[in-house]
Structures are given as C-alpha cells and as structure tokens.
C-alpha cells in the first residue's frame, strides 16, 4: 500500500507556481482489515506532501476514526519517525461555542420584546434550569475552564439545547464581532494554518468545497487529500447537495419576516438604503407567498387525485408534472429577487460594521447582521429547491430525484418538497478531483462483487485511476466459519421468515457468549425482541435503548466480568464496531442487507439505468448489497488471533443466481452450507 500511494502522489508533476500539471493524481485502494492502511498512507503521504509543499488533509466518515488518528496513529507516527508532524483536528463552526449568540439568547430571555434570532423568528421562553446551564457554560468559558469546543464538554448535550449557543457562516460577522479575538472557532482556524496535517471529516470537506474551496480548509490546489472510509463519500456528497422546502411553514415564516423588517427600519432610524431595499422586497415577497400558496394547493391536489394514503409521492425519472414545473419557476424567480434584496441589506450592515455607514450604529448593525443572514440564506434555499423542480435534467447525465413528503406538524398537514442528485460523480469531478493536487481513497470495502467499476462510476473518477485491492493478512479459512443454516423460508416471505429467525435465536442465543445480531429493519428487530425469552432479554442490548458507544462500553464490561452479552443492531452497527478477541465471537445477519425498496434516490437511479438499457438490480442493487454485506461480516475478525463464526439466516445466497457472486466477494471464510 505504501508503494501504491507513493507511486501516484510522488509521480505528480507541478510547475514553478506549484500547480499540478498531470492528471494521474488519484488512486483507490481497498485495504482489508489488518493491513495497517492508516500507517501505510501516513508513512507514504506525509513526506511527499512536505516535498510538494502541500497540506495533507485526512478525511474520515466517523468521529471514532478521527479520534484514533489524533490520539493514536499520529502520535505513533511522530514516535517512530523524526518528522515532528504538527497536526490538528478540524471541525465545523457548529461544534464551537459562539459568545455573541449565547449572550443574545440569554438577553432575549430577560426581555421577550427583543428581536427574535431564531429560525421560527419568534422569541421563546425556555425553562430556568436551561438558562442556568447556559450561564454556567458562559462562566466556564470566561474563566478558561472550558475551551468552547462541544466535544470537550464533560457531559453530553442535546442538539436542541446546543443549537442556540452556536452560529453558522450566514450569521457570523467574522472580524467585526466584538468577541472575535476570543472566538473558539477562529482560534481553531488560526491553528489550522500552522498544521502540516489536518484531520477532518467528509462533511467538512464538502462544506468547504460548496463555499468555493479554501474557505474552511486549505485551498484544494495545494492540498493532498486522503479519504479514509471512502465508501461513504458518494452518499455524503449527494446528501450535501440535496434541497428541501416545507411549503406551509415557509409561507408562515414569510409572513413573520414582514414584522422583522419593519422593526429593522425602526431600529436603523429609517436609513434610506435599508428602507429602499425593504420596499423592493415587498413585491417579490407577495409574489413568493402567492406562488407558494398555489404550489401548496397543487401538492394537496396531487395526493387527492392519486387517491392514496401514502406519506410520500416520488416523481418517476425525477420528472415533475408540467404544471408544477411552471409553478416552481414562478417561485424561483420571486425567491431570487427577494433574496438578492436581502443580500444587499446584509452588505449594507456589513459596511456599517466596518464603520463605512456613519448613519448606522455599529451595535445595531451587529445585532441585525445575523438575522438578515438567516433571511438571505432561507431565500437562497427556496430558490435552489424551486429551481431544481423547474429544471429538466441534462439527458446525458444522471438525473435528480424529486419527491414530496407529507408531514404532520403542530400547524396541521405540511408538504415537504425535496430533491437530491442520484450520483455524486459530476459534483466530485468538478469541485474536487479536477482541482485538488492529489487524493487517495481507501477503505476495507471499495469493491462491489470484487470489482471497482461501481466506485469509479459513482465517484466520478477517471477510468484510468489506479485501483488496487490488497487482501487482509488474516487466516480466514482457519479462523472463522460462514454458516448458512437450513432455513425453511427466505425473507421474500417476511412474516414467516421473522418467525423462523425468532425460533433460531431463542434456540441458539442461550449458548452465545459475545454475539452481534444485525437486522435490516426496525420493525423486524422490534418483533424479534418482543418474542425473545425472558432470560434472553436480560442479556440483550438493542440499538435505540442507549447510545451506540454506551452499548459497546457495557458489552465490553459484561464480557470482562465473565458474563454473556448480545447486541441487537441495525446498519450503523455493521461498520465502525471494533470488538476484538473475546468481545465478539459470533455475528448473526438476519437477512441480506438490500437497500430500502422505496428510497426515492435509489428508485430514480434504477429507472435511469433501466432506461439506458441496463439491469438496475444487477448493476446497482446487488453491488450495493455486496458492499454492505462485506462491511457486516467484517465485524468478526479484528486481529490475527480472533476466531468465530458468521451466521447468515438468508438462503438466497444459495438459491438465487446472484447469491454465488455475493458469497465469492466475501473474505474466504470456511463455508458451512446446511441442507
């Protein structure tokens, strides 16, 4: 692996401005469990990044791997070399305490007549206990006993409690803020500039790219990226460029914005520029409200005429009805005009923060800047979603999935319009691969059915990208068995299959010492738990009852204490779970991990493949299932001395044509197919 990474990154040529000249700058490496891939890419990429005068960004999909890099692998690298690497963990703005937002929120609790700062634009009273907690956090930060990083807090904090204490780029006044010099986020940003190695996550890399690159992380042109857990990169990318619009709640929010803008005029003493821009927002706002009302009525009619009680309507091939396209175009046009005027007000307030608008008090501008940032941001979001619905996809590229969800809210039924690209290929090619200095993509599962075709296509990689498959050094044949019991029915008959799973587990789990049972649906897992014997329920911990980390912690403690332990989990337990030795002796997979059949993105992609003359099941569904199955069985052997068994309660691997392909793509376990 060291050789592959060194060959590609070392072969990149650059000009006198250190700009990349050649295109052979990417590689994909599937490195099986136990190959030491983390240390391999560090030993090869670090000296090359230094020689090329590039920053090295290590991007992961999970917090666990980030912590492993920062707390274990990078310190070990410094210990075994004389490189003295300077490294840092990069996190998004939302992980850091914002003094301005916290103080404003606390002030708003004392005077409910103050301007609201939050998404629903209505100041709201919170309980005294939470207010006291906020004041304690503020005091701890001011005293220097807490650094303002959410991840360094002593106790876990719920997202809804944390949200008022942080900010985003639309509300942050940057150097104009009175608290800029003490800002935890910007102090962390300064440290990034001094680091050789930056540990980030896929979401942060994508957020940086969506802002043009170089806004949060170093410039892509001067960066070598290593994407660990790269099999997540495609899904992360499509999710990052997905849009949504709740029709009814947006109409309600637009009405409240009028009161806010009136208050802005009053607090800025009717500043001519502010008044002019707000006046010019009024007509687009009315057009926008009217157009959204009509869109809402069309959505209601769609579900009524379809005569369905479903809570989702997907548009086949991503094509929305022509009447809806016309309505979306009207919304997009009004939203664009409205948000452009909001942006102009943001610019005026920003100039006031610089002292360039003498008639505007800086404290007033500072208070209103984040509020107008939210208004501008929401206007942009409306525009992007509406534009997606009003546009036809390029016939030469993969389509965009479009659908409407029905939501039950406190204000009654709402309709949420959503759109999401079905492939990350074009986005990654345009924003990342074409711009970066170099990149390594690695994971224990980069192939599907033993081939890289799916990964190369999904991620928009050049067809000549170096792809290497490096097997695990583990002795699978002698260390573990793959058992397929003689089940009477397969999951195509879900109720009967679930009953057989219940019988199997009730019979076999009493003898189990350390077992992970993986399910494909909440429904089946819940049914099975309810049907377990009382004795078994005592030693089963199920996902949803506790956090994932707490379940794993308690599982290890029970094993250490000589007790038996069984974990019931879904997809999130099929990867990122590291239970070596006696902590895991048995993995039971209740059925093949096929994707959710009614997922709008997968369904639209399947249609596109079929319309292009392909076979969606064999080209999309089976390869994706192969990758998930490989991830799941990979939980068993985590070190060379581990032993155990994988039990697959799904006979389709031996009764269906694709079954042999799925089995052959797995590590070479000793197979036991019961008849």
Q: Average pLDDT of 648-670?
A: 95
* pLDDT-above-90 percentage for the chain: 70
358 SS3 class: coil
Q: What is the DSSP letter of 651?
A: T
In this predicted structure, what is the pLDDT of residue 201? 93
Per the structure block, which two tokens stand in for 644? 């155990």
Kindly state whether residues 322 and 381 are assigned to the same domain.
Answer: yes
Tokens 């701890």 correspond to what residue? 140
Kindly state whether residues 247 and 236 are assigned to the same domain.
Answer: no
Residue 233 has pLDDT above 90, yes or no: yes
Is position 344 within any domain? yes
Is position 668 within any domain? yes
Q: What is the mean pLDDT of the chain?
A: 91
Which residue range forms the structural domain that includes residue 464? 2-86+196-240+437-470
In this predicted structure, what is the pLDDT of residue 115? 42
- Cα(293)–Cα(287) distance, integer angstroms: 10
Cβ-count burial of 369 within 10 angstroms (0-12 exposed, 13-18 middle, 19+ buried)? buried
* pLDDT-above-70 percentage for the chain: 97
In this predicted structure, what is the pLDDT of residue 413? 92
- Cα(301)–Cα(415) distance, integer angstroms: 11
Kindly state whether residues 533 and 641 are assigned to the same domain.
Answer: yes
Residue 428 has pLDDT above 90, yes or no: yes
Of 131-135, 257-261, 378-382, 464-468, the range with the lowest mean pLDDT is 131-135
User: Nearest to residue 634, comparing CAs of 578, 581, 596?
Assistant: 578
Angstrom CA distances, 73 to 128, 213, 444, stand at: 44, 27, 17
- Cα(107)–Cα(97) distance, integer angstroms: 16
Query: Angle, to 10 degrees, between the axis of helix 322-353 and the axis of helix 362-390?
Result: 160
**Residue 333: HSE in the Cβ half-sphere, 13 Å Cα cutoff:** 11
Is position 406 within any domain? yes
Kindly state whether residues 223 and 306 are assigned to the same domain.
Answer: no
pLDDT bin (cut points 50, 70, 90) of residue 81 is very high
* Contacts of 476 by beta carbon, 8 Å cutoff, 6+ apart: 637, 667, 668, 669, 670
Q: Average pLDDT of 239-268?
A: 93
Asked if 209 and 40 touch (Cβ cutoff 8 Å), the reply is no
- Total Cβ atoms within 10 A of residue 371: 24
Residue 435 has pLDDT above 90, yes or no: yes
In this predicted structure, what is the pLDDT of residue 593? 95
Q: Average pLDDT of 420-428?
A: 94
Kindly state whether residues 504 and 546 are assigned to the same domain.
Answer: yes
What φ, ψ does residue 660 adopt, rounded to 5°? -60, -40
Of 90-94, 412-416, 495-499, the range with the lowest mean pLDDT is 90-94
Tokens 């409910």 correspond to what residue? 112
Kindly state whether residues 361 and 442 are assigned to the same domain.
Answer: no
In this predicted structure, what is the pLDDT of residue 116? 41
Compute the residue count for the chain: 675
Is position 11 within any domain? yes
Q: What is the DSSP letter of 437?
A: S
User: Nearest to residue 448, comparing CAs of 642, 154, 174, 658?
Assistant: 658
Is position 190 within any domain? no
pLDDT in tens, 23-48: 899 999 999 988 999 999 999 999 99
Asked if 475 and 640 touch (Cβ cutoff 8 Å), the reply is yes
Kindly state whether residues 269 and 406 are assigned to the same domain.
Answer: yes
- Cα(658)–Cα(637) distance, integer angstroms: 25
**Residue 642: HSE in the Cβ half-sphere, 13 Å Cα cutoff:** 29
Give the largest CA-CA distance in the chain: 86
Convert 226-242 into a string of H (helix), E (strand) and C (coil): EEECHHHHHHHHHHHCC
Kindly state whether residues 539 and 525 are assigned to the same domain.
Answer: yes
- Cα(58)–Cα(56) distance, integer angstroms: 6
Is position 430 within any domain? no
Kindly state whether residues 72 and 206 are assigned to the same domain.
Answer: yes
Residue 296 has pLDDT above 80, yes or no: yes
In this predicted structure, what is the pLDDT of residue 105? 79
pTM given for the model: 0.85
User: Nearest to residue 265, comparing CAs of 280, 276, 254?
Assistant: 276
Of 101-110, 177-186, 455-464, 546-555, the range with the lowest mean pLDDT is 101-110
Number of domains in the chain: 4
Is position 357 within any domain? yes
In this predicted structure, what is the pLDDT of residue 114? 42
pLDDT in tens, 314-330: 999 999 999 999 999 99
In this predicted structure, what is the pLDDT of residue 117? 40
pLDDT bin (cut points 50, 70, 90) of residue 342 is very high
Q: Which of 179-188, 266-275, 321-330 has the highest mean pLDDT?
A: 321-330
Residue 125 has pLDDT above 90, yes or no: no
DSSP-assigned letters across all residues of 416-430: EEEEEES-SHHHHII
Helix or strand holding residue 185 (H, E): helix 184-194
pLDDT in tens, 542-582: 998 888 889 999 999 999 999 999 999 999 899 889 999 99
pLDDT bin (cut points 50, 70, 90) of residue 109 is low
**What CATH number corresponds to the domain at position 222?**
3.40.50.300
Kindly state whether residues 67 and 137 are assigned to the same domain.
Answer: no
Kindly state whether residues 146 and 37 are assigned to the same domain.
Answer: no
Residue 370 has pLDDT above 80, yes or no: yes
Residue 522 has pLDDT above 60, yes or no: yes
Is position 234 within any domain? yes
Higher pLDDT, 167 or 52: 52
Kindly state whether residues 333 and 279 are assigned to the same domain.
Answer: yes
User: Nearest to residue 165, comparing CAs of 77, 214, 104, 207?
Assistant: 104
pLDDT bin (cut points 50, 70, 90) of residue 113 is very low
Residue 478 has pLDDT above 50, yes or no: yes
């Amino acid at each position: 692996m060291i050789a592959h990474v060194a060959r590609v990154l070392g072969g990149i040529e650059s000009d006198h401005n250190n700009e990349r000249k050649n295109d052979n700058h990417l590689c994909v490496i599937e490195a099986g469990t136990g190959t030491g891939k983390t240390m391999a890419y560090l030993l090869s990429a670090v000296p090359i990044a230094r020689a090329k005068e590039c920053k090295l960004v290590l991007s992961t999909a999970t917090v666990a791997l980030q912590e492993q890099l920062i707390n274990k692998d990078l310190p070990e690298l410094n210990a075994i070399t004389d490189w003295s690497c300077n490294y840092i963990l990069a996190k998004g703005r939302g992980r850091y305490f914002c003094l301005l937002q916290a103080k404003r929120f606390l002030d708003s609790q004392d005077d409910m007549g103050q301007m609201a700062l939050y998404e629903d634009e209505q100041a709201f009273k919170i309980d005294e206990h939470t207010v006291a907690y906020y004041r304690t956090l503020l005091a701890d930060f001011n005293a220097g006993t807490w650094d303002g990083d959410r991840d360094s807090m002593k106790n876990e904090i719920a997202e809804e409690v944390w949200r008022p204490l942080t900010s985003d780029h639309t509300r942050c006044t940057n150097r104009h803020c009175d608290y800029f010099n003490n800002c935890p986020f910007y102090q962390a940003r300064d440290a990034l500039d001094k680091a050789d190695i930056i540990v980030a996550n896929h979401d942060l890399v994508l957020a940086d790219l969506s802002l043009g690159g170089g806004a949060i992380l170093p410039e892509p042109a001067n960066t070598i990226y290593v994407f660990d857990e790269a099999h997540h990169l495609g899904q992360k990318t499509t999710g990052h460029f997905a849009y949504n619009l709740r029709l009814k709640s947006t109409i309600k929010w637009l009405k409240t914005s009028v009161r806010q803008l009136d208050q802005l005029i009053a607090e800025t003493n009717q500043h001519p520029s502010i008044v002019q821009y707000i006046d010019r927002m009024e007509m687009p706002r009315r057009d926008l409200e009217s157009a959204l009302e009509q869109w809402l009525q069309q959505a209601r009619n769609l579900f009524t005429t379809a005569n369905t009680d479903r809570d989702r309507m997907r548009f086949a091939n991503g094509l929305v009805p022509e009447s809806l396209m016309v309505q979306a175009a009207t919304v997009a046009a009004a939203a664009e005009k409205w948000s452009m005027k909001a942006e102009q007000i943001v610019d005026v307030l920003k100039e006031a923060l610089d002292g360039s608008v003498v008639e505007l008090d800086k404290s007033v501008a500072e208070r209103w800047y984040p509020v107008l940032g939210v208004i501008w941001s929401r206007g942009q979001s409306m525009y992007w979603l509406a534009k997606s619905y009003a546009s036809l996809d390029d016939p030469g590229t993969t389509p965009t999935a479009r659908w409407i969800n029905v939501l039950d809210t406190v204000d009654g039924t709402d309709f949420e319009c959503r759109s999401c690209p079905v492939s990350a290929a074009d986005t990654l090619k345009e924003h990342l691969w074409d711009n970066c200095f170099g990149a390594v993509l690695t994971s224990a599962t980069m192939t599907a059915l033993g081939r890289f075709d799916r990964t190369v296509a999904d991620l928009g990689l050049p067809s000549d990208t170096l792809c290497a498959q490096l097997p695990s050094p583990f002795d699978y044949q002698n260390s573990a068995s793959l058992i397929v019991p003689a089940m009477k029915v397969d999951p195509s008959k879900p109720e009967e299959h679930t009953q057989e799973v219940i019988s199997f587990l009730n019979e076999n789990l009493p003898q189990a010492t350390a077992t992970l049972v993986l399910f494909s649906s909440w429904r089946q897992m819940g049914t099975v738990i309810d049907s377990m014997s009382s004795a078994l329920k005592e030693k089963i911990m199920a996902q949803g009852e506790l956090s994932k980390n707490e379940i794993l912690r308690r599982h290890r403690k029970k094993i250490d204490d000589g007790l038996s332990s069984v974990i019931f989990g879904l997809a999130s337990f099929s990867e990122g779970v590291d239970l070596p030795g006696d902590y895991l002796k048995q993995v039971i997979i209740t059925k093949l991990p096929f994707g959710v059949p009614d997922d709008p993105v997968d369904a639209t992609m399947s249609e596109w493949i079929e319309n292009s003359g392909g076979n969606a099941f064999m080209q999309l569904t089976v390869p994706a299932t192969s990758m998930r199955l490989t991830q799941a069985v990979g939980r068993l052997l985590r070190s060379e001395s581990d032993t155990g068994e994988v039990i697959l309660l799904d006979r389709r691997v031996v009764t269906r044509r694709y079954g042999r392909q799925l089995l052959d793509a797995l590590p070479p376990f000793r197979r036991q197919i019961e008849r």
